[in-house]
Structure 1
Amino acid sequence: MIPRVLSIAGTDPTGGAGVQADLKSISAFGGYGMAAVTALVAQNTLGVREVHVPPTDFLTAQLRAVSDDVEIDAVKIGMLGSAEVVAVVAQWLTATRPPVIVLDPVMIATSGDRLLDADAEAAVRDLCRLADLVTPNLPELAVLVGEPVAADWDTAVAQAQALAARTDTAVLLKGGHLTGEESPDAIVDAAGIHPVPGRRVATPHTHGTGCSLSSAMATLAAHGLPWPDALVRAKRWLTGALENAAELHVGRGNGPIDHLHELRPNLDLAPSWSAARWEDTAAVRADVDDCAFVRGLASGDLDRAAFTFYLGQDLLYLREYARVLARAAALAPRTEEQRFWAAASVSCLAEEATLHESHVDATDLAPAPATAAYTDHMHAVSAGGSYAVLVAAVLPCFVLYTDIGARWRGTFTPDHAYADWLTAYGDETFGASSAEASRIADAAARDASLATRAAMARAYARSMRLELAFFEAPLQR
C-alpha cells in the first residue's frame, strides 16, 4: 500500500522547509504527499522576509476538500502560527480522526525568537493531546513543559517524559541542539525510553530538518512501523540527507538537506544503452531506408529474381543466426534470458521453414560474400565467450527489422507482391521480442566493464553495417 500522507504547514519557496520539505520526505519513503497550507512564507536560506496567513475559513476549506475525497493514512502538522489556526486544525482532526497524527510544534525560530504568543502556545500544548507523536526540538520542548532549555541529555529525557505523561502521547526527543560528537534521539512514551544513537554531522545545511524528520516519521508509521523502528530508519536517512546537503548548492545561507539522496545514485538520466546505440547508427539506418532493395520491396516494384536471391541468402543466414542465439542461451546468466534466447533460436528455424523454404529451393545454395561476412562476424563474437558482446551483436537483427516493419505496417494492400514478407516484418510478437532483446542488452551493459561496453558498441555497429550490406547485395550481383 502507498500511504497517503497530508502535511498541514506553512510554505518555503526555496523548498527546504514547510510543506515543500514534507512532500519530499513523504516521497522519499514511498508515500503519496498532500498539503494544506496554513501560511505563505516569503523566505530563503538567509531568513524569513514576510508571512501571509490566509483566512482560517480557507484552511478549513482545504482540509475538508482533502478529507471529503481522499482516505488519509497519516497527518503531519507543522507551522500553525495562531490560536485560531490551531483551533481549526484541532476541530478538523477531531471530526476526521486520521489513523496517525504527528505534530511538529513549530514555536521557536532558529534565532531563538518565540514565534507564537501565549494563547497560541497554550493551544499547541492542548493540540499535543490529539497527536500520536510530538516532535519538538529542545527549545520547543522547554516551552511545552514550561522549563528552561535542557543543557544535557538527562534533563532533556526528563522533560520529554513529563510532556509524554501530561499529554498521553509519544515524544520524539531530538538531541540535535546539544553539543558533542554524538547526536542521540529517542522515542519517549508510556512504555519507557527507546534511544537511537547517532553521530553529529558537521554541516551548516540543516534548514528544514525538523519538518523533514516529522513527515518521515508520519510516513513510516503509515507503513506500519512502530515509533522506535520508524526512528531508526528515519535517523539513518536524515544522517545521509545532512551528509549530502552541501552537494545541492541551494542558496547562500543555511541550505536544505538532501531529501532524495537515497534515490539519486539509482537515477539514470542518460538514454539506455540500446537507445544510445540506435541513435549512434542513424546514418547507417538512413542508408538502409534509401537502399534500392528496401525501397523496391516496400513499393512492390522489386525484381522477383532479386527477391528470390535475398530469400535464399536470408535462409542461410537464419540457419547460422539460430546457432548463435542458441549460444547466447548457453551463456545467459539468468534463467529467463536462457529461455528467451532459446525460444528465439527455435523461432528462427521455424521462420526458415515457413517463409523461406516455401519460396526458395535450398539445394546447392552458397552464401554470398555479404552473407558470409555477417555470419562470420556472428560466429567470431560467439566464440569470444562474452555474453554481453554477443547480445549486442545479435540485437540489430531484432531492432532494425522491427523498426522497418512498424513503419511498413498498414502501408500495403493484401495483393501487394510481397505482402506475406512485409506482414512478417511488422509482426507484433516479433516486436515484443525485439523490446525484450533490447532490455536484456541494457541489463548486460549496466553490469559490464567500460572495456566490455566498448566491445559491445563495436559489435553492434558492425552488425548494423553488415545488415546494410545484406540488403544491398541482391541488386549488386
Structure 2
Amino acid sequence: MSSLSSTSVLPAAPALRPAVPSAVLRDVPRVLSIAGSDPSGGAGIQADLKSIAAHGGYGMAAITALTVQNTRGVRAVHVPPPAFLAQQLEAVSDDITIDAVKIGMLGDAEVVAAVRSWLEKVRPGVVVLDPVMVATSGDRLLQASAETALRELLPLADLITPNLAELAMLLGEAQADTWAEALEQGRRLAADTGATILVKGGHLDGAACPDALVNTGGLLAREIIEIPGDRIPTRNSHGTGCSLSSAMATAQARLGDWEASLRLVKPWLAGALESSGDLDIGTGNGPIHHFHHLATPGALPSPASPEVPPQQGLAAGDFAEVLRAETGAHLEAIHGLEFIRDLAAGNLPEKQFGYYLAQDAIYLNGYSRVLARASALAPTEAAQLFWARSSQQCLEVESELHRSWLSTRTVEPVLGPVTKSYVDHLLAASVSGSYAVLVAAVLPCFWLYAEVGQALHAEFLAAGAPADHPYAEWLRTYADEDFAQATREAIALADEAGRRASEDERAGMVVAFSQSCRFEVDFFDAPRLHS
C-alpha cells in the first residue's frame, strides 16, 4: 500500500481547549432557546427550534416576548411579566438537564435581570448570546434603557454573536465600515467580556462574506480564526442571526470546539440562504430554508441525477493530497504510542487490548450508522453502493472479529470518553447536510488504520510471523488487501467530493478530517490511560 503512504510530515495543529468537557458532549444535545416569538416562523424561537433540530438537537423554548410581525417588519411587541419568564426557566431546568442555551431577544432590563439571575443559578455547559437589539428591517427590539443591563450579561456567555450594528452598540462606537475594523471591534469586546466573539461580515459591502471567531484569552487555536465565504444573493435573510446562533449552540454541545462548530454551521447556513427561494414565504424579507439538506418528504434519491462539475483549478488527486498532508503528524504520533509499540511486539497487556477491542466494537456500531448516512447522501450510485457495503462490512466482518475475541474474555463494555467524543464528532458531521464533510470525517478510520495496519503487519512479518503472537489475527485483518482497496476507494471518493465542493465546504472537510485524525490518535492511546 505504498501508494497511500504519507510523503510529508507537518507539525500538528494546536489543540483547542474545548468549552464543553468531552464527558458531557451529547449525540442529541438538549438546547434551550430563550427568545422572542415570531408568528411568521422565520425568526426568534421558531427559527431557533428549526436550527436546533437541523443540527440534531432537542429544542426547548422559554418565551421572552410576543411580537406581531411578518416578512415585511415588526408591528408590535408585547413583553410578558419577567416573573412569568423566570417560572418558565425554572420549570424547564428543574426537570431537564440543559446542555446548551441560546439567548436571543430580551426586550427590557427586567427581562435581562431575570435571565441573568437564572443563569447564575443554572449554568449550562454552553451559553450563546445573540444580542438582539435591532431587526434586519431596522425595527428596535431592545429598549435603550436595557442596553446597560445587556452589557452586564455578556461575561456570562461563552459565545456572543452580534451583527456589525450590534457589535458597535455594545462597544458604544460607530459601526465598522471594513472587515479589519470589525475584527478589531471583536477583539475589544472579547477582551472586555472574556467571551469568544463571532464577528459576522454579512452587513459589509462586497461579494465576500467572511466570519471570524475572536478570543483574547487563549481559548482558541489562534486569537482570530477567520473563515471565508461568499455572499449569497437573496432577499430571504429573515432570521439568519437567530438561526446561526442556535445552530452554533447545538453544534458546540456536540463537538466542544468553536472552530469545528462554525466550520460545520457556516456551509449549512449558506445552503439555507441559497435554497430559501424554494420556500416562497411572504412578500418581504423571507426566511431561510433550515432543512434544505434533507430530501423532500416522499421523494426517493435518483442515482441518475446529473453530477456537479468539479471546481476549477483542482485536478483528480489534488484534494486527496491536501488531506494526505494532514495525516503525516497524526501517523507519526500513532507510531510513537506505547500501545502501538507493544501491540507490534506482541507484549501488549491483554487488559489493554481487551479495552481497545471493546471500545472499537462500540465505535463500529456508531460508525456503521454514519457510513449508512453517507450512502444516503452520496450523489452517485457507485458512491451509494460503496458506503452501504462499508457499513455492512463494519457489522459483519470487523465486529465479528471483535466479538470472537471478546466472547472468551471478561471485558466490561463501558463507553469510554474518547469513543463517545469520536462518535459524537461523526454523528455531528452526518447531520451537517454536507456529503463532502461527512466523507472527510469518516475517511481517517480507513486511511490511518490502513497505514498503521500495514506498518504493524510488516513488522510482524519481519519478526518471522511468530505463531505465538497473541494479536496476529487482528494484524492480518487490517493489512488485508480488500481493506487496502476499500481505503483507496474511500480516498478517491473524498477527493471527488472535495473537487466538487465549495471553498467553505472544502475548509470544513479539512477540519472534519483533521479532527477525526486526532481522535484516531487518542483512540489508540486510550487503553494505556484507562489501565
Aligned to 1:198: 229
Aligned to 1:341: none
Are 2:139 and 1:109 aligned? Answer: no
Aligned to 2:98: 72
Aligned to 2:503: none
Aligned to 1:13: 39
Q: Matched residues in 2 for 1:248 and 1:226: separation? A: 32
Counterpart AA for 1:80: L
For the structure 1 residues 221 and 334, does the alpha-carbon distance in structure 2 shift closer, same or farther, using more than 3 Å as the test? closer
Given candidates 121, 132, 142, the residue that maps to 2:147 is: 121
Aligned to 1:245: 276
For the structure 1 residues 202 and 90, does the alpha-carbon distance in structure 2 shift closer, same or farther, using more than 3 Å as the test? same
For the structure 1 residues 112 and 43, does the alpha-carbon distance in structure 2 shift closer, same or farther, using more than 3 Å as the test? closer
Q: Matched residues in 2 for 1:72 and 1:139: separation? A: 30
The percent identity for this pair of structures is: 60
Q: Matched residues in 2 for 1:237 and 1:187: separation? A: 17
Are 2:285 and 1:254 aligned? Answer: yes
Offset at 1:269?
5.5
Are 2:112 and 1:86 aligned? Answer: yes
Q: Matched residues in 1 for 2:251 and 2:389: separation? A: 34
Given candidates 4, 17, 30, the residue that maps to 1:4 is: 30
Given candidates 13, 16, 40, the residue that maps to 2:66 is: 40
Counterpart AA for 1:268: G
Aligned to 1:51: 77
Offset at 1:111?
3.8
Q: Matched residues in 2 for 1:165 and 1:335: separation? A: 48
Aligned to 2:210: 184
Aligned to 1:284: none
Q: Matched residues in 2 for 1:107 and 1:222: separation? A: 26
Are 2:151 and 1:146 aligned? Answer: no
Runs of 4 or more off by more than 3 Å in structure 1?
A: 111-115, 333-337
Q: Matched residues in 2 for 1:336 and 1:6: separation? A: 34
TM-score (normalizing by structure 1): 0.56
For the structure 1 residues 258 and 335, does the alpha-carbon distance in structure 2 shift closer, same or farther, using more than 3 Å as the test? closer
Aligned 1:51-450 pairs, distance under 5 A: 51-190=77-216, 191=218, 192-265=223-296, 267-268=297-298
Q: Matched residues in 2 for 1:7 and 1:27: separation? A: 12
Q: Matched residues in 2 for 1:171 and 1:216: separation? A: 15
Offset at 1:119?
2.9
Q: Matched residues in 1 for 2:169 and 2:245: separation? A: 19
Specify the SS of the correspondent of 2:252: helix
Q: Deviations over 1:210-258 (max 9, x none)?
A: 0000000000000024111111111100000000000101111110000
> Is the CA contact (8 Å cut-off) linking 2:105 and 2:142 kept in structure 1?
no
TM-score (normalizing by structure 2): 0.50
Specify the SS of the correspondent of 2:233: coil
Q: Matched residues in 2 for 1:128 and 1:237: separation? A: 27
Q: Matched residues in 2 for 1:334 and 1:76: separation? A: 40
Specify the SS of the correspondent of 1:223: helix
Higher deviation after alignment, 112-121 or 83-92: 112-121
How many pairs align?
A: 276
Q: Matched residues in 2 for 1:14 and 1:117: separation? A: 23
Q: Deviations over 1:346-389 (max 9, x none)?
A: xxxxxxxxxxxxxxxxxxxxxxxxxxxxxxxxxxxxxxxxxxxx
Q: Matched residues in 2 for 1:253 and 1:112: separation? A: 13
Aligned to 2:3: none
Superposed CA RMSD in Å reads 2.0
Q: Which sections of structure 2, spanning at least 5 residues, go unmatched?
A: 1-26, 301-387, 393-531
Specify the SS of the correspondent of 1:75: strand
Offset at 1:108?
1.5
Q: Deviations over 1:95-139 (max 9, x none)?
A: 001110000000123244543333311111111110000000000
**Which one has more relative contact order, counting CA pairs under 8 Å at least 6 apart?**
2
Q: Matched residues in 1 for 2:292 and 2:250: separation? A: 17
> Is the CA contact (8 Å cut-off) linking 2:106 and 2:142 kept in structure 1?
no
For the structure 1 residues 336 and 150, does the alpha-carbon distance in structure 2 shift closer, same or farther, using more than 3 Å as the test? closer
Counterpart AA for 2:239: G
Q: Matched residues in 2 for 1:118 and 1:260: separation? A: 35
Specify the SS of the correspondent of 1:250: coil
